[in-house]
Structure 1
Amino acid sequence: MKSRLHAHVGTIRQLEILLAVHDKGSINEAAKALFLTQPTVSIQMKKLTDAIGAPLYNYANRQLVFTDIGLELVKTAVEVLDSFARLDMSLGNIKDFKSGTLRLAVVTTSKYFIPHLLGPFCEQYPNIDIQLKIGNREQTIERLKKGVDDFYVFSHPPVDMDTESIEILRNPLVAIAHEDHPIAKVKNLTLKDLSAEPFLMREKGSGTRYAIEEFLKQHNAKLNVKMTIESNEAIKHSVMSKLGISILSAHTLTYGGQSGLARLPVKELPINSHWFFVWSKSKRPTLLAAKFLAHIETNGRALLQQEMIKTGISYNQTNK
């Protein structure tokens, strides 16, 4: 017998509300985003829960946490709403892309260059909507597992998931110190010279930390980690406050500013990684997603490389 779940799973509006609750992380914030009252959102979520016959989320330490069943419904809601979005675009003027939503989830450091990809695309299709989620590597992997977004940006894509990817940009990681730090006056440094200095490290789950730890394993080296910080900007300001040295993406320095900082000429650096656009093989791309991927593979990649060269990030740089 065919499943009749679709007959009582809820309305399209309920699925929209479900996604808002999931993305915003609370009933109250979802209500604000949808211009609804909080009781209205709560009632619709209760109706949807009753239809499914199991809790969609629970509360832990006042945090709204989705259950496995809730996450499965979120995944299906995205697919259903994407289907309607494709239908909406098909019924309109498909060639002009006068409607549609592009969903991107990117790791924190990539936020500095992503606008340079989106800008020209949005100029070409000014009526589309963009949803951009920024998090660390661990958070972005979780979104990839749920299949919520069209594309994901990593410097080290997960290898244990059924995905496709394209390389779009170099992501050199460089060592930095306060410009008045004694080590900044040394012309020829090695990784060993950094080992005694207080080191400021990104948090667990960060792509930058992942790259540094893999690099240290390869060189059988250790750093004197004194602080763990969850923000590139906070690390830069900590270095400027002479709290220690660090290793960050050159993009962070170029676009986020580097006043008061010095790049250290370390023999084994930079750590040469790359940025990748990643998408799930199991998720059918929307028409808009397919158009954006074509933009990346043609104009987007070339525009980014030109921009990076302008800002001083060399594409021929290798480990010394």
Structure 2
Amino acid sequence: MNLRHLTLHQLRIFHAVAEHNSFARAAEALHLSPPTLSLQVKQLSETVGQPLFEQLGKKIYLTPAGKTLAEASGDIQLRLDRLSEDLSALQGIERGSLKLAILTTVKYTVPKLLGGFCAAHPGIDVAMVVGNRENLLQRLANNQDDLYIMGQPPEQLDVLSEPFADNPLVLVAPPGHPLVGRKRIAPARLKDEPFILREAGSGTRLTTEKFFAAHGITLKNRLEVGSNEAIKQTVAGGLGLAVLSGHTLTAELALGELVQLDVKGFPLIRRWHVVVPRGKRLSAAAQAFREWLFTHR
């Protein structure tokens, strides 16, 4: 076995197969034909001198040698990424890349900030993923991105977080609701009202339930919906009330499709946080965008 004969290209291909747990999906991700990819993995296996995968039914699994190589290839890829960041840093922030993961609700505000940042630094390659809280927590745990923007930093992960902007949560109703136009509505008045809620684990839902629980109220969950857009349409259709970020409601409130209720204690003020794993070394581009959030909010 002479590992000097293996190539970084082969390791990259092998790492993709191990990550996707599929030759076909890895080939698609790398824009390679399946035969070309399979040949590279076969040659790498011959260099190692042991099989790297075994197939049981339609699924493939790493062999003990494959697991060892997967760990090593991950270390090598991490070191190459760090090398790229170091070289980019020597050229200043006008080169490099930024991987950003943001909460679904933040898509109404952060992309505008990102647009200004990209205009000021056109040489930076940017990738942005938009997902719900569960998606972001999984990506954060796997260290898949540079920066994460969410409402409530996770307590179960070792991270550094800093608030950079307010996120007011408001209570909305359809235009014909009996409470529209009432002033200083007591929270207790809403105990029998049906609510349209985000999925369990959503930061907005957790904050809403905490507020009403403090007033001795358990919300009547009429529907559980996984997106803000669907919630807005459902409320506009007269199926219930909802608590949503004020940033998501500008158009609907202006057009009169939804009405903000004047409930005591609202709006609930949450904060947007920029989150990174503790100890993560940020690239020059990521550090620059982090600072941009605080100076251009």
Asked if these proteins are the same fold (TM beyond 0.5), I'd say yes
Return the TM-score normalized by structure 2: 0.80
Q: Which amino acid aligns with 2:83?
A: F
Structure 2: 5+ residue stretches without partners: 62-66
Q: Which amino acid aligns with 2:290?
A: L
**1:182-193 correspondence runs (5 A):** 182-193=178-189
Distance between the aligned counterparts of 2:42 and 2:251, measured in 1?
45
Asked if residue 261 in structure 1 is aligned to residue 258 in structure 2, the reply is: yes
| Counterpart pick for 1:227 among 219, 223, 226 | 223
Distance between the aligned counterparts of 1:58 and 1:82, measured in 2?
34
Distance between the aligned counterparts of 2:29 and 2:102, measured in 1?
22
| Counterpart pick for 1:293 among 287, 290, 295 | 290
What is the SS of the residue equivalent to 1:106? strand
Number of the residue aligned with 2:135: 139
Structure 1 residues 82 and 255: alpha-carbon distance in aligned structure 2, compared to 1, 3 A threshold: farther
Higher mean alpha-carbon deviation, 164-173 vs 251-260, is at: 251-260
Number of the residue aligned with 1:281: 278
Q: Which amino acid aligns with 2:267?
A: P
**1:203-218 correspondence runs (5 A):** 203-218=199-214
What is the SS of the residue equivalent to 2:78? helix
CA drift at 1:162: 1.9
CA drift at 1:18: 4.0
Distance between the aligned counterparts of 1:205 and 1:8, measured in 2?
49
What is the percentage of aligned positions where both structures have the same residue?
33
Number of the residue aligned with 2:91: 94
CA drift at 1:284: 1.5
Number of the residue aligned with 1:82: 81
Number of the residue aligned with 2:106: 110
CA drift at 1:218: 2.9
Aligned length: 285
Structure 1: 5+ residue stretches without partners: 1-5, 305-320
CA drift at 1:134: 1.4
CA drift at 1:170: 0.5
Distance between the aligned counterparts of 2:284 and 2:56, measured in 1?
35
Number of the residue aligned with 2:247: 251
| Counterpart pick for 2:158 among 154, 159, 162 | 162
Structure 1 residues 32 and 197: alpha-carbon distance in aligned structure 2, compared to 1, 3 A threshold: same
Deviations for 1:103-137, whole angstroms, at most 9, x for unmatched residues?
11111111111112211211121121111111111
Q: Is the 8 A contact 1:208 1:248 kept in 2?
A: yes
Structure 1 residues 280 and 187: alpha-carbon distance in aligned structure 2, compared to 1, 3 A threshold: same
| Counterpart pick for 1:121 among 107, 117, 122 | 117
CA drift at 1:197: 1.6
What is the SS of the residue equivalent to 2:107? helix
Q: Is the 8 A contact 1:139 1:205 kept in 2?
A: no
CA drift at 1:220: 2.7
Deviations for 1:202-225, whole angstroms, at most 9, x for unmatched residues?
012322122223323333321110
CA drift at 1:21: 8.2
Q: Is the 8 A contact 1:75 1:147 kept in 2?
A: no
Structure 1 residues 42 and 80: alpha-carbon distance in aligned structure 2, compared to 1, 3 A threshold: farther
Q: Is the 8 A contact 1:151 1:278 kept in 2?
A: yes
Asked if residue 15 in structure 1 is aligned to residue 12 in structure 2, the reply is: yes
Distance between the aligned counterparts of 1:131 and 1:256, measured in 2?
29
Deviations for 1:209-259, whole angstroms, at most 9, x for unmatched residues?
222233233333211101000000000011111111111111111267763
Provide the alpha-carbon RMSD of the alignment: 3.7
Distance between the aligned counterparts of 2:228 and 2:291, measured in 1?
31
CA drift at 1:26: 6.8
Q: Is the 8 A contact 1:177 1:245 kept in 2?
A: yes
CA drift at 1:282: 2.4
Asked if residue 148 in structure 1 is aligned to residue 147 in structure 2, the reply is: no
Distance between the aligned counterparts of 1:272 and 1:204, measured in 2?
20
Deviations for 1:160-181, whole angstroms, at most 9, x for unmatched residues?
3221122111111111111122
